[in-house]
Structure formats: C-alpha cells, structure tokens
Amino acid sequence: MATYLDHAATTPLRPEAAAAMLPWLTERFGNPSGSHAVARAARAAIDDARDIVAAALGVDPGGVIFTGGGTEADNLAIAGVLARHAAQAGSAGPGGVVVCSAIEHHAVLHAAEAATKASGGTTETRVVPVHPDGTVDLDRLADALDPTVTVVSIMLVNNEVGTIQPFAQIARLVRRQARNAVLHTDAVQAFPWLDVTEAAQGADLISVSAHKFGGPQGTGVLAVRGDVAVAPIIHGGGQERDRRSGTHNVAGIVGLAAAMQATTNDRDATVARVRPMRDRLADELLHVIPGSAETGDRAVKIAGNCHLCFDGIESEALLVLLDDVGVCASAGSACASGAMDPSHVLVAMGIDRRRALGSLRLSLGHTTTDDDVELALKVVPDAVARLRESAAPVAQ
C-alpha cells in the first residue's frame, strides 16, 4: 500500500463517516423534500447533521448551507454576496468591490474574476499582497479597505504552504474600515487542525469541505453567521432556505457531519502527534538535501504541512519518481498550456521562479505514521539526487 502524504489534497474516509453513510447508500434512500415517512427520515438525518455542523463552526443551524464542496461554497460566498448587493442597490449587474489576498484558492480568485466579467467591469477586485512567510500584508490590506467594499475574502489557512492568517487582526481592520463589508474565510484547510469557531472569529461566512477532514468528496458547507444574506447561484426547488437548490446529498451530508464530529473530538491529539513528525520530516530533509529551503515560516503553519523547494529539479519529475516508489505527494506548481508555471502562491511570496518550479508539498494527516515519515526520508533525497544527476551536463 502506498505511503500517503497528500492529505491537503484529500483525506482517507474516516470509519465513522463510512458507517454513518452506509444506510443512506443502501436501504435508506428517501428524498428529504418529500412528505412520506421515508422522506421524513432523510429530512431528520439532515437536520441532525445540520446541528452537528452548526456547533462545530459556531453558527446557528439555520446558517448552515450544504453545498457540493468547498469550491461551490467559495463561489456562493463571493457571487452570492455580490448578487445580493446588486439586488439591494437596484443595479443590473453584480457591481460592488471584492478584496482578497494574492494567495487565495482559485475558487475565490476565479469567482471574483467571473463577477468582474459578468458585470462588464463594474465589479472591482482588489488583490492584497502577502509577506514572504505567506501572511497577508496588513498595511496593504488597510489600504484596500474603504466603505465601498462589498466582500472581503481571506483564507484562514493556505492550501499549498499551510500558513495561518492573523484572522483576528484582519477582522478588526475590516470592521473598522469597511464596516458594511461581508467577511468570508475559506477554512477548507483549517478545519482538521484549528478550532474554527475560535480561529475564524469575526467571519460572516465560512467555507469547509468534507473530504479535507475524513468526510466524503463532493460535500461542503457555507456557514453563515448572523443575518448576512447571500443570493443563490444554483436555482431550482428552493432547498436550503432558497440559498442552494437541488436534492440533498443525504449520504454525503451525514458523512460530513460524522467526520466533523470525529475530527473535533480528536483534533488536539492529532495535532500533538503529527507536529513532531512534520518537524522531523522537514528538518532531516533540509539537513541532507543541499540546495533545499522551507517555504514560509513553520511557526505560523498548521501542523501537517511540510512544503519545501529544491534547486535544480522540476516538481513533476520528482512526483513521478516518488510515485514509482510508493509515496503520494503533491507540488506547489501546475502544468498550464503545456508549460510549467510556478504556483501563484509561491510567486506571491516572492520565491524565485526557478526554485518555485522545484517545490514539494508533503502533507500529513490523521492517518500518517512514523513509518510513512521514515520512507519519505529515505526516498526523497534519493529522488532529488537522481534528478540532479540526470540534469547535470556531461563532461566532454
């Protein structure tokens, strides 16, 4: 079996989630929008799940909107707030002002871009830079905030490098300088490691995704605090209080709630167990591989993120070699239009382009063991050395 060090991409399904989902994948198949007993049982299961999620995220049950994942939750936060703003202003297009960081997930960045395009340019997006450690530049954020701002979206934890944002300071700035703005946070990577009710205090909207904490893929939540209104981006039967239409994914929702409860119960123990493994993994790789560097500041990262850059190699080739020896990992760069482009996150952090192309993200999680770390410490240095040898010029 492969050594799985890609928990930031997706996590193994927790046994609690699998057990909770099974009845709703077999004999319990009711549509919760119906009125008969089978349908009512499905509705009751969703209501129970809603209560669990609300408690875990620090919102009222009525503020829980079940979605098809974190991407949809992020899109609903951006587009839904802008659409509601336009409706209240009586304008034809979305309009409004979006403020976000340069290292947001593309679900936020592209949603803001799409809103600008749909509005014919009447929607404005202001992108705030970050420091080399990956934290938002608060001075530049302050410069971007004013009473015209409609929605501010700053992720709680970055998906690539694991940086935790100083969210309390961000919230205070927003309330002071853009008091009518809606504050959204993408907490998709945060929930396995942080108590979001504390870490995201001051947020009006919070996005999470089940498969990042041991739940099923294709299920997420946009949690709404207070009386913040979002317009639907999916129209139909008016489910989720007219905020997200479509037949509920009962099994997915039940599994999300079970995984959320299990994660909440053992989060502190998981963090205490995983952090020393991550530290050992990072420290020993940095020690034995010349031309290596850690991305960002470990002091402001979640416990499971180990992100390194290696000079003189390309990430995709490294990932192939690691996969060949049974290690599943990821990189901070993606292949676009047939050419390797550095990650927008690493570029925003000021990392040299050539170094950024040699990035490696080893993300640990609740199933990671010491044996997984041992194997990574053995095979990563060998793989980097092989790639450097193959790239070295041949002496004439």
Would you list the DSSP string of 137-168? -HHHHHHH--TT--EEE--SB-TTT-BBP-HH
Mean pLDDT confidence for 364-379: 98
Residue 92: both structure tokens together: 């034809």
In the block, tokens 């799409």 appear at: 114
Among 314, 304, 296, 295, residue whose Cα is nearest residue 372: 304
Domains 3-8+267-385 and 15-262 share a fold: no
Q: Which residues pair with 189 in a beta bridge?
A: none
Active-site amino acid positions: 335
Give the model's pLDDT for residue 119.
87
pLDDT in tens, 10-62: 999 999 999 999 999 999 999 999 999 999 999 999 999 999 999 999 999 99
For 15-262, CATH gives 3.40.640.10
Q: What pLDDT shows up at residue 338?
A: 42
pTM for this prediction: 0.95
What is the average per-residue pLDDT within 356-376?
97
Q: For position 370, what pLDDT does the model report?
A: 98
Tens-digit pLDDT profile for residues 43-57: 999 999 999 999 999
SS3 367: coil
User: What single letter denotes the amino acid at residue 149?
Assistant: V
**Over the stretch 130-186, which tens digit does the pLDDT of each residue have?**
999 999 999 999 999 999 999 999 999 999 999 999 999 999 999 999 999 999 999
Domain spanning 3-8+267-385: CATH 3.30.930.10: no
Give the contacts of 266 (CB within 8 A, at least 6 positions apart): 366
Taking 3-state DSSP, the helix, strand and coil percentages for the chain, each rounded to the nearest 5, stand at 45, 15, 40
pLDDT tens profile 96-135: 999 999 999 999 999 999 999 988 889 999 999 999 999 9
> How high is the pLDDT of residue 216?
98
pLDDT for 319-358, tens place per residue?
A: 999 999 999 999 964 434 344 688 999 999 999 999 999 9
Q: What is the pLDDT of residue 87?
A: 86
CA nearest neighbour of 70 among 173, 164, 207 = 207
pLDDT at position 329:
98
Torsion, CA 207, CA 213, CA 215, CA 217, rounded to 10:
60
Residue spans of the domains in the chain: they are: 3-8+267-385, 15-262
What percentage of the chain has pLDDT greater than the value 70?
95
Share of the chain above pLDDT 90, in %: 91
Per the prediction, the chain carries an average pLDDT of 94
pLDDT of residue 82: 96
> What is the structure's pLDDT at 91?
62
Which of 284, 238, 311 minimizes the C-alpha distance to 377? 284
275 by Cβ neighbours in 10 Å (0-12 / 13-18 / 19+) ranks as middle
Q: How far apart are CA 105 and CA 108, in angstroms?
A: 6
- The 10s digit of each residue's pLDDT in 221-274 is 999 999 999 999 999 999 999 999 999 999 999 999 999 999 999 999 999 999
Q: pLDDT, tens digit, for every residue of 273-305?
A: 999 999 999 999 999 999 999 999 999 999 999
**What pLDDT, on a 0 to 100 scale, did the predictor assign at position 337?**
37
pLDDT given at position 335: 39
Q: How far apart are CA 150 and CA 35, in angstroms?
A: 39
